[in-house]
Amino acid sequence: MTSFIPLSVPTLNGREKTYIDECLETNWVSSGGRFVTRFGELCAEVAGARFGIPVMNGTAALHLSVILAGVARGEEVVIPALTFIGTANAGAEPAILDVDPVTWQLDPGRLESFLRTSCERRTGGVFNRATGRRVAAVMPVHLLGHPCDMDPILQLAREFGLTVIEDAAEAVGASYKGRPVGGIGRLGCFSFNGNKTFTCGGGGAILTNDEALANRASYLSTQAKDDPVLFIHKAVGYNYRLTNVAAAMGVAQLEAREGYLARKKEINRRYRLALEGVPGVTFMGSANWAGNAMWLTTVRIDKAKARISNLELMRTLEKGVDGGPRIETRLLWQPMHRSEALATAYRTDAPNADSIYGEALSLPSSVSLTEAEQDQVISAVKRVISGP
């Protein structure tokens, strides 16, 4: 019997070793090589974008995208309250808004209210009345693999002159009304961290349909070298390049993407069927236009009905239930408007984010999760909440 069931771990059963061995045998292990090029092409293909620029991680992709969007120091980017803090740490001043209570994504209605009632148009753009800062961009986050409602966000961005940067770190392979996420905004960002559906160990990518932005992204991610012989730099650049070894793993992962995404959907389907009707257990909602990549299947635990909180359930499962395996689950991130690290940021009340955070728990969702292991997770949750 399995003794430990992890939350989300890499599944490496394709050509990863073959491709990495090629890197070692040819000595192409650093930031150049055919796999870096191919990985960028595959990322663009997945996002439905013209260009994919590989970088070292998702946070680097977000940081460069903020720069590429022309966001100056001290200017604001609108983000949702419910996201990983990397979204807020991308180099701009965050303006934090609440999320939709059903899908948990940035609420377009709240975005519209913020822009129309809390901001004012002046020469040079739209400015936050409370902070005096220019609002330069909006960064919708496709949380947990479910896409944001992009059409109203794009319409508002056009009206108010904002750049749309998609944080699709958790949503590689997701789609919105049939359009792949990552390539819908002016810029998009992927992450290939070790716990994502597809991984390079680390790794990220910038997606765009704008050739000039793609060229600028490549330039800035390689230390902005204007003359690599004389070491002349006319702009501030960064060493954000992805190695050929990491890209080789990423190529193998994305080659298997259809099977991986299908497995994620099946895991989500089995959880929903098995846990439906368990007292206090409900699931993240899904819009009918959403092609959900289902990175992590996440439930809400209503303590009043389940007689246990999400935190208490997490700690009970990690110890093992009735001699069963230790099971790793995870809370969602502290909402951004509650973070001490963002104490100077503009924020609004975010009751939906607070409520979701107080109840959400992500269940084991690895592509390699077997049905037998998933049945053990399901059984443990039921036994804790409903009893033997």
What is the three-class DSSP state of 164?
strand
379: in domain: yes
Question: In DSSP terms, which residues pair with 206 in a beta bridge?
Answer: 53, 189
Judge whether residue 214 has pLDDT over 80.
Answer: yes
Indicate whether 188 and 125 sit together in one domain.
yes
135: in domain: yes
Q: Would the pTM of this model clear 0.75, i.e. be above it?
A: yes
User: Per-residue pLDDT tens for 26-65?
Assistant: 999 998 999 999 999 999 999 999 999 999 999 999 999 9
Indicate whether 344 and 229 sit together in one domain.
no
Indicate whether 191 and 246 sit together in one domain.
yes
Indicate the average pLDDT of the chain.
Answer: 97
Indicate whether 34 and 129 sit together in one domain.
yes
Residue 223 · residue 241 · CB < 8 Å: no
Question: In DSSP terms, which residues pair with 372 in a beta bridge?
Answer: none
Residue 217 sits in a domain of what CATH number? 3.40.640.10
Q: How far apart are CA 27 and CA 308, in angstroms?
A: 54
99: in domain: yes
* Cβ neighbours of residue 73 closer than 8 Å, sequence gap 6 or more: none
Res 155: pLDDT:
98
Q: Could you tell me what percent of the chain has a pLDDT over 70? A: 99
Indicate whether 75 and 202 sit together in one domain.
yes
Residue type for position 235: A
User: Per-residue pLDDT tens for 56-96?
Assistant: 999 999 999 999 999 999 999 999 999 999 999 999 999 99
What is the three-class DSSP state of 334?
coil
Residue type for position 12: L
Beta-strand relationship, 175-176 and 179-180: antiparallel
Indicate whether 23 and 125 sit together in one domain.
yes
5: in domain: no
Residue type for position 115: L
132: in domain: yes
Last residue of a domain, one of 256, 276, 301: 256
Residue 336 · residue 349 · CB < 8 Å: no
User: Per-residue pLDDT tens for 280-312?
Assistant: 999 999 999 999 999 999 999 999 999 999 999
Residue 374 sits in a domain of what CATH number? 3.90.1150.10
Indicate whether 83 and 123 sit together in one domain.
yes
Last residue of a domain, one of 210, 231, 256: 256
Buried b / exposed e along 152-184 (16+ C-beta atoms within 10 A) = ebbebbeebebbbbbbbbbbbbbbbeebbbbbb
Indicate whether 116 and 167 sit together in one domain.
yes
Confidence of residue 1 (pLDDT cuts 50, 70, 90): low
4: in domain: no
Res 228: pLDDT:
87
Indicate whether 59 and 178 sit together in one domain.
yes
1: in domain: no
Number of domains making up the chain: 2
Q: How far apart are CA 372 and CA 159, in angstroms?
A: 52
Indicate whether 112 and 249 sit together in one domain.
yes
Indicate whether 288 and 172 sit together in one domain.
no
User: Which tokens is 166 given?
Assistant: 């998609």
175: in domain: yes
Q: How far apart are CA 342 and CA 116, in angstroms?
A: 24
| Owning domain of residue 268 | 258-386
Indicate whether 239 and 320 sit together in one domain.
no
User: Per-residue pLDDT tens for 162-194?
Assistant: 999 999 999 999 999 999 999 999 999 999 999
Last residue of a domain, one of 230, 256, 282: 256
